[in-house]
């Protein structure tokens, strides 16, 4: 038989244990879970940008990086414009020495029909321009470039552009020529 003192000690220990376990939960309320705080990154920073007065930048010549960036005009023999007669210059074809030096060249267009390009080359040579054609491969098949030149002085070729436009009704552009 257990003594009365033992019963009181055991009861006291049980009551203290229950008090230690239950009382903090009663006073704290509902248990809170810890949440990590995240900072959101703004889509656009709140920065004021001061306007800078526009400065004139000297124009630089822009060269196409590849043939895909060059504007092309495709014509067949029926659509090719006729060459009008102009001042007759001495006909001379480009020599091999000219074609191997870097310089400038006029591209009058890129055509699908080789016969019309050959006809234009003959007429341009008859007018005294060193014209020739160059075949290039594109995604749509082979194309024929109509070229005049090359020349070492860009300004001379640019001066020929209006005359060539009168003769062929084609708007040519001067490009850098690297053999």
pLDDT at 29: 66
Q: For residue 175, list its beta bridge partners.
A: 105
pLDDT at 170: 87
Domain boundaries, the chain: 97-178
d(CA 136, CA 145): 7
List strands edge to edge, sheet with 103-111. 131-138, 141-151, 103-111, 173-177
pLDDT at 87: 42
pLDDT at 13: 95
pLDDT at 102: 78
Closest by CA position to 149, among listed 137, 136, 158, 162: 158
Tell me which of 3.30.70.1070, 3.40.50.300, 3.30.750.24, 2.40.50.140 is the CATH number of domain 97-178.
Answer: 3.30.70.1070
Write the pLDDT tens digit of every residue in 46-105: 667 667 676 665 665 555 555 555 566 666 656 666 655 444 343 344 554 455 667 888
Write the pLDDT tens digit of every residue in 115-164: 989 999 999 999 989 999 999 998 889 999 999 988 888 888 898 899 98
Give the pairing of strands 103-111 and 131-138. unpaired
Helix (H, G, I), strand (E, B) or coil at 19: helix
């Amino acid at each position: 038989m257990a003594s009365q003192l033992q019963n009181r000690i055991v009861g006291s220990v049980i009551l203290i244990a229950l008090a230690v376990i239950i009382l903090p939960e009663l006073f704290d309320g509902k248990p809170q879970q810890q949440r990590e705080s995240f900072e959101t990154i703004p889509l656009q920073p709140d920065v004021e940008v001061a306007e800078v007065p526009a400065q004139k930048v000297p124009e630089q010549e822009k060269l196409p990086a590849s043939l895909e960036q060059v504007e092309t005009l495709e014509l067949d023999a029926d659509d090719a414009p006729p060459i009008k007669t102009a001042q007759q210059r001495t006909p001379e074809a480009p020599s091999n020495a000219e074609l191997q030096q870097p310089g400038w060249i006029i591209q009058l267009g890129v055509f699908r029909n080789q016969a019309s390009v050959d006809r234009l080359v003959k007429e341009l040579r008859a007018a005294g321009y060193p014209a020739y054609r160059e075949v290039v491969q594109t995604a749509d098949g082979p194309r024929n470039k109509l070229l005049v030149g090359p020349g070492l002085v860009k300004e001379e070729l640019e001066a020929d552009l209006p005359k060539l436009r009168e003769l062929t009704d084609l708007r040519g552009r001067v490009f850098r020529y690297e053999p």
